[in-house]
A = this chain, B = another copy of it.
Amino acid sequence: MVFTGGTNVNQSFDAVPTTLKELAARAKVHPSTISRVVNQDPGLRIAAATRMRIEALLRETEYRPNGVARGLKLRQTMVLAVVIPDITNPFFGGLFRGIEDGAAPRGYQVLLCNTDGSPDRQRAHLHSLIARRVDGVILASSFLKDPAVQWLRHQRIPYVLVNRFSDEGLDPFVGSDDVTGSRLATQHLISLGHVRIGHLAGQPTVSTGVLRRRGFQAAMAEAGLPARPELQVESGFVEEGGIRGTERLLAMSQPPTAVFAVTDMVAVGVYTAARRMGLRVPEDIAVIGYNDIPLAGRLIPGLTTVHVPIHEFGSAAARVLLEQIETGHVTPRQVVYAPQLGVRGSTVAGADKRNVAHFATNGRGE
């Protein structure tokens, strides 16, 4: 690393952004008058000459009211907060874009908080956010029976849970029907003739983990197949857990011929582990994931997965939140999307050639 001191410009921050009071002195009117012009007060009666003078001054100085002072007086900050486990996970990247795309047109900006799955960090972030008086919170990192969510309920601040819930039906929520989705996934594997099917089951502390496992078990039972406990392995929700879980599954005397992973990232772990062990997907082991992140379509073979509208999750969450903010009421509205099966080459050899759809990111920039 090269480290340069740079040219010694060394400016200090002394220039002050203009205040209403200063403008008032310049225009020889009272600050309140300017404020009304700025905010286009409907009941404002003002002499044409004065208005012109003020408007000219506003243009000249490019005056913009101090948002902090405004926030204090109006009791609204025009800031939303998003709390997620980790923005480098593509699922949350897409989710965030959905949220911002829903919030920005209405003038809101968005604070992003990563918890890394730590309840402590989640709690700390939430406390800060409430103290900051953000106008609303979108929480996508909650646990089952999450104390932080219970606390949030009592703060009487608009909030929405996304993807994961804490206590079913008690909170405003946007997500999909995880049981149905995982049943779809499992049925797909069953329909292909798989009998020994493994499940990488997330975590029992998170709703998506529990529900997707439940759907898996339901589908197995409906098909008259045994859902053997040793074939259901906790994996967390990211790649590393998928690798470990796959190693456990494939070390069994009679390993499964197919694996349903609780998320696409876990499914990526299955690919990695299979590759290390010299197994082919889907011939030696079929894999199905959940979420349909952009990466799923890029893997070779393409990852069969349960598609959920990630970006829509975000924009719907923003809608639900803004509705609460604007009406001042919290109806625990639930928006639940129906998941859909997306078949690619990780379960059906050759599917990738038929199914040429690419799930490219809309990414810009570097």
Chain A interface (Cβ < 8 Å from any Cβ of B): 1-15, 17, 64-69, 71-72, 77-79, 84-94, 96-97, 100, 109-117, 125, 127-133, 140-141, 154-158, 163-164, 169, 172, 177, 208, 236-240, 263, 265, 268, 272, 291, 294-295, 298-300, 328-338, 358, 360-366
Contact = CB atoms under 8 A, between A and B. Distances in A.
6 contacts: A11-B156, A64-B130, A68-B132, A86-B97, A109-B111, A111-B111
Nearest to A332: B6
A316 to B, nearest CB: 8
B93 A93 contact: yes
Contacts of A85: 363-366
Contacts of A154: 15
A141 B333 CA distance: 37
B91 A87 contact: no
Given A84-B365, A89-B366, A335-B3, A12 B237 contact: no
A330 B268 CA distance: 44
A96 B87 contact: yes
Contacts of A238: 361, 363-365
Contact of A169 (B6, B14, B88, B116): B6
Contacts of A239: 360-361, 363
Given A3-B335, A86-B361, 19 more contacts: A1-B336, A4-B334, A5-B331, A7-B169, A9-B331, A11-B330, A12-B328, A66-B133, A67-B128, A85-B363, A88-B94, A91-B366, A92-B365, A100-B113, A111-B112, A116-B364, A236-B364, A237-B366, A295-B298
A212 to B, nearest CB: 11
A331 B10 CA distance: 5
Contact of A13 (B69, B111, B330, B361): B330
Contacts of A88: 90, 93-94, 96-97, 294, 361-363
A156 B69 contact: no
A10 B330 CA distance: 6
Contact of A68 (B72, B116, B268, B337): B72
A294 to B, nearest CB: 8
A298 B12 CA distance: 47
A62 B190 CA distance: 54
Given A2-B177, A130-B64, A238-B364, A114 B92 contact: no
Nearest to A133: B68
A65 B100 CA distance: 28
A214 to B, nearest CB: 17
A133 B141 CA distance: 29
Contacts of A155: 15, 17
A140 B364 contact: no
A244 to B, nearest CB: 12
Given A11-B156, A72-B72, A93-B93, A86 B364 contact: yes
A269 to B, nearest CB: 9
**A1, A96, A141, A338: which has the most chain B beta carbons within 10 Å?**
A1
